[in-house]
Homo-oligomer: A and B are copies of this chain.
Amino acid sequence: MTEGNAGADQPLAALRAQIDDVDSQILDLLARRLELVGEIGEVKGRHALPIYAPDREAAMISAKRALAAERGLSPDLVEDVLRRCMRESYTHEKNMGFTRQAPDLGPAVVVGGGGRMGSLFARMLTLSGYDVRVVERDDPPEQVASSVRDAGLVVVSVPIHDTVAVLRSLPPLPPGCLLVDLTSTKRAVMATMLEVHPGPVLGLHPMFGPDVDSLAKQVVAVVPGRDEAASRWLVEQIRLWGARVHELPAETHDELMGLIQALRHFSTFVYGWHLAHEDHDLDELLALSSPIYRLELVMVGRLFAQDAELYYDIITASPDVVALIQRYLTRYAQAFELLLRGDREEFVARFREIGDWFGDHAETFLAESRGLLAHADATR
């Protein structure tokens, strides 16, 4: 019953040597593929083409799936391998140059440019050929004033709870300078930007952490402020970096962020609290987990390796959050009542109503999650 099983050793060793040989050839081809994609990136960079072209990607995947089927290979396997290669390519392209969308722009100043998100934007702007200056909020006022004197762009990237104060402390900006923030709630910050600067204003909210490999496929929320024409180049520049840009008003943005950020992070915090109090052996929980529960444990536990203060600020950033969480808690209690009553029929009826609300998405999510869970299984 062990690997030392006589009779199997020799044929297994021979087959494994052949697999090693195949793997070595696959490695060579992966390296060659990355080189070729790098060359495509250079051509795109020279011609101001975005590094991420959704339609072309979809067409390419579809052609390779058909090819896989012809050769009796699983199309899903081929798609997954190619997508993994593409993800690697985007990472490689991140240090590539990008065409500058506003060739005559004055210096781009990143306030808080030493922070993680600030330095990501400073790097992307530099790679796109802008003259980038980094300023910290503790720098002497004269120094800040001299940095922004001829600025074409000022990006404020400081912790949420400092943003309004930092905006108010800014020296006057040149009238044509574009003022931008990267904060995760928009109403108060946008109002302050419009108040302190009479020129063009734009709100940006990168929907990802500062540790992403590349902006390819990441979402950036765009909230219009003032003089849209004067900020169009920046939105275009962000598209060139590969991001998906989604524009919406500050109010809608903040409402949706209640769900996407505040309720999500708060509930994760509470679930971690609950787990710690129930105090079962985490290793045994992991050993026993179904794929879905393992994924949940991973997504909950990851929170607590991160910055408590940042999460408190994100959760409490919008004044509507308390009401949103209150509604959630009320609904949880209602559902619990249903469970206490043992009301199977109502559970089933509600379940189906909610399914109707999800519509076709429920089925596509089920299919998508199968692949994700299989991936999560394969890596553990």
> Which 8 A-B residue pairs are closest in the complex by CB-CB distance?
A308-B351, A304-B355, A301-B365, A276-B357, A305-B362, A8-B47, A305-B366, A302-B366
CB pair B26–A33 under 8 Å, yes or no, is yes
Interface majority SS (helix, strand, loop, mixed), chain A: helix
Residues of B within 8 A of A53 (CB): 3
Q: Verify if A104 is at the interface (C-beta below 8 Å from B).
A: no
The residues in A between 311 and 369 inclusive whose CB is less than 8 angstroms from any CB of B are 311-312, 315-316, 321-322, 324-329, 331-333, 335-336, 339-340, 342, 344, 347-348, 350-355, 357-359, 361-363, 365-366, 368-369
CB pair B80–A219 under 8 Å, yes or no, is no
CB pair A351–B304 under 8 Å, yes or no, is yes
Q: Verify if A145 is at the interface (C-beta below 8 Å from B).
A: no
CB pair A33–B23 under 8 Å, yes or no, is yes
CB pair B275–A293 under 8 Å, yes or no, is no
Q: Verify if A19 is at the interface (C-beta below 8 Å from B).
A: yes
Distance between A358 CB and nearest chain B CB, rounded to angstroms = 5
CB pair A358–B272 under 8 Å, yes or no, is yes
Contact flag A288-B27 (CB < 8 Å), given A256-B280, A298-B365: no
Interface 0/1 of A22-40, CB less than 8 Å to B: 1111111111111011011
Contact flag A280-B298 (CB < 8 Å), given A32-B22, A348-B309: no
Q: How far is the CA of A370 from the CA of B342 in the complex (A)?
A: 40
CB pair A304–B362 under 8 Å, yes or no, is yes
Distance between A197 CB and nearest chain B CB, rounded to angstroms = 26
Residues of B within 8 A of A372 (CB): 295, 298, 372, 375-376, 379
**B-binding segment of A128-136, A162-170, A206-214:** A206-214
Classify chain A: how many residues form its interface, as a range.
Answer: 35 or more
Copies in the complex: 2
Interface 0/1 of A283-309, CB less than 8 Å to B: 011111111110111111111111011
Residues of B within 8 A of A3 (CB): 49, 53, 56
Residues of B within 8 A of A353 (CB): 276
Q: Given A207-B290, A256-B285, A267-B332, list of 4 further CB < 8 A pairs? A: A217-B380, A246-B287, A315-B339, A372-B375
A336: contacting residue among B16, B219, B325, CB under 8 A: B325
A248: contacting residue among B39, B84, B270, B284, CB under 8 A: B284
Contact flag A64-B312 (CB < 8 Å), given A12-B40, A270-B332, A305-B365: no
Q: Verify if A188 is at the interface (C-beta below 8 Å from B).
A: no
Distance between A103 CB and nearest chain B CB, rounded to angstroms = 14
Distance between A231 CB and nearest chain B CB, rounded to angstroms = 17
